[in-house]
A and B are shown apart, each in its own frame.
Chain A
Amino acid sequence: MTAYIIRRLWQIVPTMAGVILLIFVLFNVVGGDPAYLLAGKISNPESIANIRKQLGIDEPYWMQLLIFVKQVLTFDFGQSWSTNEFVSNIFATRLPPSLMIGIPLMILETLIAISIALGVAYLRGSFTDRAAMVTCTVAQSVSILVYIIVFQYWLAYRFGWFPVQGWGNHFFENLVKYASLPVLIGLVVSLAPNIRLYRTFLLDEINQDYVRTARAKGLGESRVMFVHVLRNASIPIITNLMIQLPGLLVGLFLIERFFSIPGIGREVILAVERSDFPVIKAITVYVALATMLANLAADLLYKAVDPRVELK
């Protein structure tokens, strides 16, 4: 087990090197000299010269690449080009709001999606099942933008049930007051595709012989569904959850933008709008790292749910 984890961590190195190379080519080679971008933003030519020196623009590319690698390893991406805020500080302050929306959303979404999927999978072929699937298909085809615009307008602006936007300083105030509508919208958007997906995972299991055996030996329907079917369908469900996990940080970017929540996602959009390369570079690299770790975590979880899984 330990050997497996070490080997997997070791495998992250070449991929991470590739990600760094890709980001480097994108921003340093394709993106060109930042002096052109900065000229409009930073009026002081000295600070531009300073940033150029920091990035090593006058050095050959391999030297610039080394500087970038050093930045990644030391978590030191310098300062934002637009606000002069340290990138490490941006991470430290923007991560908590994103997590405060992301974690409740993830938990609620998983619980609700699995419950509904179990229900419709149990009633497969019935009118309820078909109606639920049609609803999901239609709900899925409406852009997330529309959900945000309409929900924000009706529920917050017109009915006043939620604040239209904003973010406070207290944990519970944020969680209860400001995070609830974003989480609700996130739920509506992500439930439809996930219910459909989990339903197919469950249906794959429901027709297996072991389910018939379980019924034949007299087990109740709830035990068959919750213990036998759900446990066996949990492997693809875990994969799906882990795939969504890093995207959660960024995936909420539209919601964060609309509700003015100071999270990582909104930071990405602001950075792209302002051509704030250090911030985009840092977020991309670390989210990629988080993705790889989440994949590793998924593989380890497989073993926990299904002892038959061999970790090679």
Chain B
Amino acid sequence: MTVASISPNAAPIGIERSPGLWSLAWKRLLGNGVAVVSMIVVALFLLLSLATAFGWIAADWNREVAVNYAPPTWFKDSHVNAIEAAGATKAPDAGPALDGAAQRAEVPNERDLLRDTIAELKRQLGQGGATADSGVTIVDPLADVMTELRKQLARGDGAAAKPTGAEPKLESLPFGADKWGRDVLKKVIQGSKTSILVGFAAALVATLLGTVLGAYAGYYGGKTDDALNWFYSIFSSIPYILLVLAIAAVLKQKGVLTVVLILGLTGWTSIFRLVRAEYLKHKARDYVRAANAIGASNRRRMFVHIFPNISHVVLVQLSLHVVLFIKSEVILSFLGFGVPVDTVSWGSMLNEAQNELILGYWWQLAAATAFMAVLVTAFSLFTDDLRDALDPKLK
């Protein structure tokens, strides 16, 4: 591609090869502490996603290993107190629902967990008729709730109703557990995989589309340029998120591929514009004329001769769009227009967390937010440094 990628051994003996753009940029990146740290963080996230994609880690995220809403280990004690305090004021409707005498002997933590579950189920299912349960007596119209709760109890969630559960459920996990007692840490790792996969794939689609169209528009000019510019003006005049939602409305089947296509097909415009400008600039340069003179075809001149010289622009754009698309995917999945329900993404986690927060369970929100913030910060810093490294004049 560039001079740097040719092995130095190819140079005639005695002449020292001058370093190329990429090796210089690489050196500049390595000399920058922030860039190194952010590169390491991004690399770790990529490794994590790859390992998850191959099923090496977090493959069993769907298993219900803990009691529902098990708190993070370090937060366990204060959580019990907080729930006790909140339980007295915040869930008065659920209080009388339990037969006090049957429950009073139980550990307060479990009882409150149960009570909270009922309160939440009640909220979800609405009111029903009166009924009674093996361990818990209900004097309140909670029939539907109890059927649901009994299902949960049958799975061995509540020690109160099933003292000799087949599999002991953990009381706490390092990152806590969600509504079904699934490990939040494993969920968030799965979510990272989905979001990163979608972000990268969509950025590749958008970059490919933007680069190829931009190359044709800038290189050929004339009618081709007019037509592609018209195309560009259409896509850029519809606000990005509106176009994404419109396509999401039409495409009914959900899936990772759909999200990638939606984001990729709508997000190419800014890349097109930049690449077109670069080709306009480069096509009249001497080296392209020289390539013409030795008989290189148009396509060869565009992609073999010019492209390596503008590839740094494309690379920075690719990097920028990964961040943009990760953010968009989170919003799409949050709204339910993104990845399917059985796939975890940061967006679907935030969606669950929204309701959990009202009940005082903040750990899923915190985990998804923290993972996303760390990756996006590191990636943005890396992109900034990459741009600076590739274009030293910019400083």
**Which chain A residues have a beta carbon within 8 Å of chain B's beta carbons?**
14-15, 18-19, 21-23, 26-27, 30-31, 137-138, 140-146, 149-150, 153, 157, 246-247, 249-251, 253-254, 268-269, 271-273, 275, 277, 280, 283-284, 287-288, 291-292, 295
Q: Which residue of B lies closest to A18 (CB)?
A: B234
Minimal beta-carbon separation of B177 from chain A (angstroms) = 19
Residues of A within 8 A of B330 (CB): 143, 145
Minimal beta-carbon separation of B362 from chain A (angstroms) = 9
Which of A22, A145, A157 contacts B234, CB < 8 Å? A22
Which of A14, A142, A157, A291 contacts B230, CB < 8 Å? A14
Given A146-B365, A157-B358, 16 more contacts at CB 8 Å? A18-B231, A18-B234, A23-B246, A137-B380, A141-B373, A141-B374, A143-B350, A153-B357, A247-B240, A251-B241, A269-B335, A272-B245, A280-B246, A288-B238, A291-B237, A295-B237
Q: Is B381 an interface residue (CB 8 A)?
A: yes
Which of B243, B336, B354, B380 contacts A284, CB < 8 Å? B243
For this complex, 29 residue pairs linking A to B, each with C-beta atoms less than 8 Å apart, are A14-B230, A15-B234, A18-B233, A18-B234, A19-B237, A26-B246, A27-B250, A31-B250, A137-B381, A138-B377, A141-B375, A141-B380, A144-B331, A145-B330, A145-B350, A247-B240, A249-B239, A250-B239, A250-B241, A250-B242, A254-B331, A269-B335, A272-B246, A275-B249, A277-B249, A283-B242, A284-B246, A287-B239, A287-B242
Q: Which residue of B lies closest to A292 (CB)?
A: B237
Q: Is the CB of A149 within 8 A of B380?
A: no
Report whether over half of chain A's contact residues are helix, strand or loop; otherwise say mixed.
helix
Residues of B within 8 A of A153 (CB): 357-358
A251 to B244 CA separation, bound complex (whole angstroms): 12
On whether A146 and B350 interact (CB within 8 A), knowing A19-B237, A141-B377, the answer reads yes
A-B contact count (CB 8 A): 114
Q: Which residue of B lies closest to A14 (CB)?
A: B230
Minimal beta-carbon separation of B123 from chain A (angstroms) = 14
Residues of A within 8 A of B237 (CB): 15, 19, 288, 291-292, 295
Which of B331, B353, B373 contacts A142, CB < 8 Å? B373
On whether A142 and B246 interact (CB within 8 A), knowing A18-B233, A287-B239, the answer reads no
Q: Is the CB of A141 within 8 A of B376?
A: yes
Residues of B within 8 A of A137 (CB): 377, 380-381
Minimal beta-carbon separation of A154 from chain B (angstroms) = 9
Which 5 pairs from chain A and chain B are nearest by CB?
A: A141-B376, A18-B234, A141-B377, A272-B249, A247-B239
Q: Is the CB of A284 within 8 A of B238?
A: yes
Residues of A within 8 A of B251 (CB): 30
Q: Which of B328-355 contact A (CB under 8 A)?
A: 330-331, 334-337, 346-347, 350, 353-354
Q: Is B280 an interface residue (CB 8 A)?
A: no
Q: Which residue of A lies closest to B240 (CB)?
A: A247
- Central interface residue in B247, B249, B373, by most chain A CB within 10 Å: B249
Minimal beta-carbon separation of B45 from chain A (angstroms) = 13
Residues of B within 8 A of A277 (CB): 249
Q: Which residue of B lies closest to A12 (CB)?
A: B237
A251 to B328 CA separation, bound complex (whole angstroms): 12
Q: Which residue of A lies closest to B229 (CB)?
A: A15
Residues of A within 8 A of B103 (CB): none
Q: Is B273 an interface residue (CB 8 A)?
A: no
Q: Is the CB of B369 within 8 A of A146?
A: yes
A73 to B358 CA separation, bound complex (whole angstroms): 47
Which of A18, A149, A291 contacts B354, CB < 8 Å? A149
Q: Which residue of A lies closest to B376 (CB)?
A: A141
Q: Is the CB of A251 within 8 A of B350?
A: no
A145 to B233 CA separation, bound complex (whole angstroms): 30
- Central interface residue in B237, B369, B372, by most chain A CB within 10 Å: B237
A86 to B304 CA separation, bound complex (whole angstroms): 56
A140 to B336 CA separation, bound complex (whole angstroms): 23
A272 to B353 CA separation, bound complex (whole angstroms): 23
Q: Which residue of A lies closest to B337 (CB)?
A: A272
A145 to B241 CA separation, bound complex (whole angstroms): 15
Minimal beta-carbon separation of B56 from chain A (angstroms) = 27
Minimal beta-carbon separation of B370 from chain A (angstroms) = 9
Residues of B within 8 A of A19 (CB): 234, 237-238
Minimal beta-carbon separation of A19 from chain B (angstroms) = 5
Residues of A within 8 A of B365 (CB): 146, 149-150
A26 to B266 CA separation, bound complex (whole angstroms): 13
Residues of B within 8 A of A271 (CB): 249
Which of A142, A144, A146, A246 contacts B239, CB < 8 Å? A246
Q: Is the CB of A142 within 8 A of B234?
A: no
Q: Is the CB of A140 within 8 A of B380?
A: yes
Q: Is the CB of A30 within 8 A of B381?
A: no
Mask of B205-233 contacts with A, CB within 8 angstroms, 1/0: 00000000000000000000000001101
Q: Which residue of A lies closest to B355 (CB)?
A: A149
A21 to B238 CA separation, bound complex (whole angstroms): 13
Residues of B within 8 A of A254 (CB): 331
Minimal beta-carbon separation of A193 from chain B (angstroms) = 10
Residues of A within 8 A of B386 (CB): none
Mask of B355-372 contacts with A, CB within 8 angstroms, 1/0: 001100000010001001
Q: Is B179 an interface residue (CB 8 A)?
A: no
Minimal beta-carbon separation of B359 from chain A (angstroms) = 11
Q: Is B118 an interface residue (CB 8 A)?
A: no
- Central interface residue in A145, A272, A288, by most chain B CB within 10 Å: A145
Q: Is B248 an interface residue (CB 8 A)?
A: yes
Q: Is the CB of B246 within 8 A of A145?
A: no
Which of A22, A145, A149, A272 contacts B248, CB < 8 Å? A272
Q: Is the CB of A284 within 8 A of B242?
A: yes
Q: Which residue of B lies closest to A31 (CB)?
A: B250
A272 to B250 CA separation, bound complex (whole angstroms): 8
Minimal beta-carbon separation of B324 from chain A (angstroms) = 11
Q: Is the CB of A26 within 8 A of B381?
A: no
Residues of A within 8 A of B376 (CB): 140-142
A169 to B230 CA separation, bound complex (whole angstroms): 43
